[in-house]
Amino acid sequence: MELLLIGGVSGSGKSVALAALEDSGYYAVNNLPLPLLPETARYLQRAGQQTVAIGLDAKTEPGLATLPAMIDELRGAGFSVRFLYLDARTDTLVKRYSETRRRHPFTSDTRTLTEAIDFERELIADVRPLAIVFDTSQTSAAMLRSWIKGFASIDAARLTVQIESFGFKHGVPLDTDLAFDVRCLPNPHYEPELAPLTGRDAPVIAFLEAHPEVERMYADIRGFVARWLPEYARDNRNYLTIAIGCTGGRHRSVYLVERLARALSPEQQVQVRHRELG
């Protein structure tokens, strides 16, 4: 049975992710106390479920402290286990809770909303390195559903490379493993006819490919990634996020992400995300 565990900070979109997985054919369980995880997985396996997504609840004792041992136990019993950790910046979480007027699960009479977010983040920090991390700070619910459905369709047994464009003025994505800064390249934004377009559009591509420094940057990034991907795969990773950033995240980074994805796709499982294009 394929078992996908959903964790992360409250307000990062775990309920949206579970709903998207359910739409993709997964049997979904939300807010399961961690001590019940092995028993629930075995029960659903006996019931004939092939793909199961479980949203974990960190509020019950002992939190997520025993999760590493449980994952090892489940894998030893023959389960295919993936752990997806959703994260978002604190200012984004504060805004989401303020807009929805919902109560954060760790707020109290002595703990403010920001303190509750920090408390939860510290409580579950130890399990973050076990997971595939996805930053939802700049992600709408529709974008997250689309990404989750794409994620659910990939082969969990192979290394998956997510290549993401972003704008530095909006912050570096929290889920980045490798980040490349391409702000030194010529910027199409300053050409009036190119500014409304993106790095996917032919006029922008032609503008960038007319500059030899763009080609040199691409060759260096591709060479670095090609050289080190096998080492990441040997490190028992099943997910690697490569982020390429320019100022606004609409032209140079988008072009390079699209080009790098095409180069890697014949041999790698590749997911593409353009954060600032929505």
Q: 136's torsion region: left (phi>0), alpha (psi -120 to 50) or beta? A: alpha
Residues 8 and 146 placed together within one structural domain of the fold: yes
CA distance 150 to 76: 27
Question: Do 44 and 81 have their domain in common?
Answer: yes
Question: Where among 135, 152, 169 does a domain terminate?
Answer: 152
Tokens 């504060």 sit on residue: 94
Whether residues 211 and 139 fall in one domain: no
Residue-level pLDDT at 62: 64
134 shares a domain with 209? no
Looking at the structure, tell me whether residues 164 and 140 fall in a common domain.
no
Beta-carbon neighbour count of residue 85 at 10 Å?
Answer: 24
Claim to verify: residue 254 and residue 186 sit in the same structural domain: yes
Q: Which helix (H) or strand (E) holds 166?
A: strand 160-167
Strands 2-8, 80-87: pairing kind: parallel
First to last CA, the chain: 34
What percentage of the chain's residues is helix, strand, coil (to nearest 5)? 45, 20, 35
Q: How many domains does the chain have?
A: 2
Residues 142 and 29 in one domain: yes
- Domain finish residue from 136, 152, 168: 152
Q: Are residues 198 and 110 in the same domain?
A: no
Return the CATH number at 124: 3.40.50.300
pLDDT for residue 61: 59
Same domain assignment for residues 147 and 164: no
- Whole-angstrom Cα distance, residue 175 to residue 12? 13
Contact predicate 260/218, CB 8 Å? yes
- Rounded to whole angstroms, the Cα distance separating 78 from 58 reads 25
Q: What are 132's strand-pairing partners?
A: 84
Range of the domain at 206: 160-277
- Give the chain's largest Cα–Cα span: 62
**Residues 131 and 220 both lie in one domain:** no
Place of tokens 């009036």: 192
- The tokens of 181 are what? 């800064």
Clarify whether residues 114 and 55 are in a common domain.
yes
- Residue 106 and residue 244 share a domain: no
Give the residue among 108, 130, 126, 100 at the shortest CA–CA distance from 16.
100
Below-70 pLDDT ranges, the chain? 60-63
- CA-wise closest residue to 133 among 141, 124, 142: 124
Domain end (from 152, 172, 205): 152
